[in-house]
Structure 1
Amino acid sequence: MRIGQTALKTKAALLAAAVLCLPDPARAGPADTYYERAFMVAADQRCGLFEARIDAALGAAAAQARGAALRSGAAEADLSATAARARSRAHAVSCQDPQLATARSRVDDAFSGWLRTPRMSFPGERGDWTANRMRSAGPGWRLKQTSVVGASPVAFGYAGQGDAQDMVAVVSFVGRSRPNAARIVLRDPTRVPRAWLAGEGLVPASSRASLWAAGVAPAERELLAEGRRAGEVWRFPASTAAALERLDPRETFAIEFHFRDGSVATAKFEAGDFAAGRAFLAMGLI
């Protein structure tokens, strides 16, 4: 009886996945959508269902669904349990199951449109990530969120030329004074394991991790905010991406610009669907 029930539940999961693993499901709740996308990600990892670009698209959709579920009120612990159930179900399915083949075909069809999509916005509660996969002759933003510090615009994300891209912050400070150092501050998961959503959002100084910029240079014109003629580009280590992906999408992180007189200018950002935007970029330039 248990074996029969398990088989029926597995078939139901596969049939649901065939319908729900679309970029914008119309009738699934956020947690349900996350389960189905996590299921297909796990099945893909086990059975090698998709080519690399579809795999990246599905990963982006799963990350986006997780963010939507958290913003709708789902608890992080519940979503971790949901992902575990999805992986367990995927492990129980035969890679030759005809229903899995049906789900694979429908996911391929659904996400093939994403492969031709050059730009996408990943909305957050306070700030959006905008992604751009269009190949260009000069430098440009690949993934960006904007903020301000005082009257000075700040942009942060991935920028580069061709297939090369770095994690950078670009700022155009008003006046002559320029910072001599910059760092990203965010929740340190070894000190505060759960998402910090209290107060103004930024975790207390005693519980922050720091990621210092590795260097600074004049910013290319293409990276500047509209109407700005000059600015600086601060380059951060590649490990920054993993640190941001560990944050809850609703969490705040900040970039601090340190000046020689001891003053600090702070620009705040929202973690949002950074992971989804990064996975979208992994589909490659077009």
Structure 2
Amino acid sequence: MTIGRTALKTKAALLAAAVLCAPQVASAGPADTYYERAFMVAADRRCGLFDARIDAALGAATAQARGAALRSGAAETDLSATAARARSRAHAVSCQDPQLATVKGRVDDAFSGWLRTPRMTFPGERADWIANRMRSAAAGWRLQQTSIVGASPVAFGYAGEGEASELVAVVSFVGRSRPTGARIVLRDPNKVPRAWLAGDGLVPASSRASLWAADVAPASRELLAEGRRTGEVWRFPASTAAALERLDPRETFAIEFHFRDGSVATAKFEAGDFAAGRAFLAMGML
């Protein structure tokens, strides 16, 4: 099945869902699409409609719809209220409703195409997340965004071998000097509750949270940028993902590399559809 046919089937399934969750909506904008997908997620949790892999596909599509709505100008508070309305509507619909059974069949059919999709690009405003579900015995990127600091390429995301993957940054610094530590810096929601989109995109130092890499090792050549022969892989705790998923997709986060002389090299990244990419990987390797 082509991506185009998958998209058409997904749209048809969501139109069917709209009959149950928002019959007054004539044409769906980004926020309406998010509402429809959030409704299906809530109905699934309540009624156990789908198997685990369809759950993951629907989760990826819902996260993607939320990102699209935020990029179109929807406020985060409004989308939280939208999700709450979707959950309320899903709670009011009987699990034995014939229309829900029809929607279930259409969603199963639509998202079965996602299950057979090995790679997907999740576009952002400035940078993309590239997801890859193809199984390989060698090390490889599963979810990746690239950046640069000076003349040194930096990649961040999930990488691993076989079914295993972990959250890492891979950098190939020009010259002999190597950093002694690396950390992710991003908005601290306890200090700045709303998305930070001003200035150069990175929240001021006084309002940042930081997450230090757990360790570093020589990077496998399969993870290096094209033309690079050596580099380091910095591994971050699994809990880092939850912090990144709390960001607005338009927000910037950065990886700081700290050197013995006190200097810091900073590579910037866009939060984008990181959550959707993770959910896409949750469908399993092919």
TM-score (norm 2): 0.92
State the secondary structure of the residue aligned to 2:165.
strand
Instruction: Find the counterpart in structure 1 of residue 46 from structure 2.
Output: 46
The alpha-carbon distance between structure 1 residues 91 and 14, as it changes in their structure 2 partners (threshold 3 A), is farther
Instruction: Find the counterpart in structure 1 of residue 57 from structure 2.
Output: 57
Shift of 1:163: 1.1
| Structure 2 Cα separation of the partners of residues 252 and 71 of structure 1 | 14
| Structure 2 Cα separation of the partners of residues 113 and 121 of structure 1 | 15
Instruction: Find the counterpart in structure 2 of residue 210 from structure 1.
Output: 210
| Structure 2 Cα separation of the partners of residues 182 and 227 of structure 1 | 23
Q: CA deviation digits over 1:161-211, x for unaligned, max 9?
A: 011111000000011111000000000011111111110000000010000
| Structure 1 Cα separation of the partners of residues 136 and 237 of structure 2 | 24
Instruction: Find the counterpart in structure 2 of residue 185 from structure 1.
Output: 185
Shift of 1:15: 6.0
Shift of 1:19: 8.2
| Structure 2 Cα separation of the partners of residues 16 and 201 of structure 1 | 39
Paired amino acid for 1:186? L
Paired residues for 1:74-223 under 5 Å: 74-223=74-223
Q: Does 1:241 pair with 2:268?
A: no
Matched residues, number: 269
Paired amino acid for 2:249? P
Instruction: Find the counterpart in structure 2 of residue 279 from structure 1.
Output: 279
| Structure 1 Cα separation of the partners of residues 97 and 284 of structure 2 | 31
| Structure 2 Cα separation of the partners of residues 96 and 135 of structure 1 | 39
CA contact (8 A) 2:20 2:99 kept: no
Paired amino acid for 2:108? D
The alpha-carbon distance between structure 1 residues 14 and 136, as it changes in their structure 2 partners (threshold 3 A), is closer
| Structure 2 Cα separation of the partners of residues 20 and 169 of structure 1 | 44
Paired amino acid for 2:173? F
Shift of 1:30: 0.5
Instruction: Find the counterpart in structure 2 of residue 35 from structure 1.
Output: 35
| Structure 2 Cα separation of the partners of residues 246 and 187 of structure 1 | 9
CA contact (8 A) 1:56 1:282 kept: yes
Paired amino acid for 1:268? K
State the secondary structure of the residue aligned to 1:60.
helix
Shift of 1:20: 11
CA contact (8 A) 2:39 2:86 kept: yes
| Structure 1 Cα separation of the partners of residues 18 and 173 of structure 2 | 50
Please report the RMSD computed on the Cα atoms of aligned residues, expressed in angstroms: 1.6
Instruction: Find the counterpart in structure 2 of residue 263 from structure 1.
Output: 263
| Structure 1 Cα separation of the partners of residues 14 and 186 of structure 2 | 39
The alpha-carbon distance between structure 1 residues 61 and 15, as it changes in their structure 2 partners (threshold 3 A), is closer
| Structure 2 Cα separation of the partners of residues 253 and 114 of structure 1 | 29
Q: CA deviation digits over 1:10-54, x for unaligned, max 9?
A: xxx996416899xxxxx6310110000000000000000000000
CA contact (8 A) 2:14 2:37 kept: no
Instruction: Find the counterpart in structure 2 of residue 4 from structure 1.
Output: none
The alpha-carbon distance between structure 1 residues 210 and 109, as it changes in their structure 2 partners (threshold 3 A), is same
Could you list the runs of 5+ residues in structure 2 that have no partner in the other structure? Answer: 1-12, 22-26
| Structure 1 Cα separation of the partners of residues 267 and 219 of structure 2 | 18
CA contact (8 A) 1:19 1:106 kept: no
Paired amino acid for 1:147? S
Shift of 1:245: 0.4
CA contact (8 A) 1:149 1:265 kept: yes
Instruction: Find the counterpart in structure 2 of residue 5 from structure 1.
Output: none
TM-score (norm 1): 0.92
